[in-house]
Structure 1
Amino acid sequence: MKLSRGVEWATHSCTVLAALPEERELSAEALAEFYELPSAYLAKQLQALRRAGIVQSSRGKGGGYRLGRPANMISLLDIVRAIEGPEPAFRCSEIRQNGPCALKKADCKRPCEIAAAFGKAEQVFRNALAAQTLDSLISEFVGNASPAHLMDMAGWIREKSG
């Protein structure tokens, strides 16, 4: 399954927003700077996250983004759905009803076996994403990061957050 770059960018942005002190925010430009991303494209991902309630935003001088709920209440599936939408990755178009050996619509009483197999696989994938919270992902990162890198990040966040 291929997910867009927007999912990666949105998830990384959420991890940075989770590190913000309470009542602080980061602008879309600052988040784009942190990862050297195009700010206009990242802003679209942030807006999708805002519509999904994953982040909150404020306008004006010092405005920006912060998480909309605690990191332990945001799953990776929440982020994927915000960016990619809720539709399944595999969409059966019933091609078994086409061609010289086509099945009649009336004979298609059960779901297509191929669609069913892909549906089962996608459900396992979605369950794994639903089980992984942003908080648990950050805990893994902190456990694997060097203290120097964590200090660099904390300093940057302090400097850029308003």
Structure 2
Amino acid sequence: MRMSEGVEWALHCCVTLAWVGDDRPVPTARLAASFDLPPAYLNKRLQALVRAGILTSTPGARGGFRLARPPERITLMDVVAAIEGTEDAFRCTEIRRQGPGSEAPVRDFRRPCGISTAMRKAELAWRRELAQQTVADLLAGTPAAAADRARRWFTTERTGT
């Protein structure tokens, strides 16, 4: 299964916003600069997170983004669904009903084929695993030095020191 780079960017931004705290919003340009990402594209991903209720957005010169809820209430699946959508990754098109299968009786196709069943089962396991892990879990698995660096970098910009 392949996901867009927007998922990685969104997850890193959620972790960073959790580190920085929610006293003031963080501008898109500052988040983009911290990862050397294109601000316009990152902003589209951040807006998707706002629509999903993962982030809040404050407009204006002092505006930006904050987490909308605590990190332990944001799952990786929430972020993936916000960026990639909620459609199933595997789409069975029933090709077994084509070619020689087009002449088979309808009763032969009442149950899904083994391929469709296996793919749906695998996707469900993948979704369950992502739903069980939160941004808080990511924070817990990150070295304290990385969090300290991020806090210092964002605080320096905010205070102008």
Q: TM over 0.5, yes or no?
A: yes
| Alignment CA distance shift 1:62-1:98 (3 Å) | same
* Aligned twin of 2:119: 118
Cα deviation digits, residues 92-128 of structure 1 (max 9, x gap): 1111111133344443111121111000001111111
CA distance in structure 1 between the aligned counterparts of 2:11 and 2:86, rounded to whole angstroms: 17
Amino acid at match of 1:137: L
CA distance in structure 1 between the aligned counterparts of 2:30 and 2:120, rounded to whole angstroms: 39
* Aligned twin of 2:142: 141
Contact 1:97 1:104 in 2 (8 A): no
CA distance in structure 2 between the aligned counterparts of 1:58 and 1:34, rounded to whole angstroms: 19
Which deviates further from its counterpart, 105-114 or 24-33? 105-114
Give the C-alpha shift of residue 26 in structure 1: 0.7
- Show structure 1 runs of 4+ deviating over 6 A: none
Indicate the SS of the match to 2:142: helix
Indicate the SS of the match to 2:3: coil
TM normalised by structure 2 equals 0.91
TM normalised by structure 1 equals 0.91
Contact 2:52 2:82 in 1 (8 A): yes
* Aligned twin of 1:155: 152
Cα deviation digits, residues 125-150 of structure 1 (max 9, x gap): 111101110001111013xx5x3x44
| Alignment CA distance shift 1:105-1:5 (3 Å) | farther
Amino acid at match of 1:95: I
* Aligned twin of 2:23: 23
Indicate the SS of the match to 2:66: strand
Q: Which runs of 5+ in 2 are unaligned?
A: none
Cα deviation digits, residues 27-78 of structure 1 (max 9, x gap): 1111110000111111110011000000000101210000010000000000
Percent identity over the alignment is: 45
CA distance in structure 1 between the aligned counterparts of 2:105 and 2:44, rounded to whole angstroms: 44
CA distance in structure 1 between the aligned counterparts of 2:106 and 2:42, rounded to whole angstroms: 44
Contact 1:55 1:66 in 2 (8 A): yes
* Aligned twin of 1:86: 86
Give the C-alpha shift of residue 154 in structure 1: 1.5
| Alignment CA distance shift 1:160-1:97 (3 Å) | farther
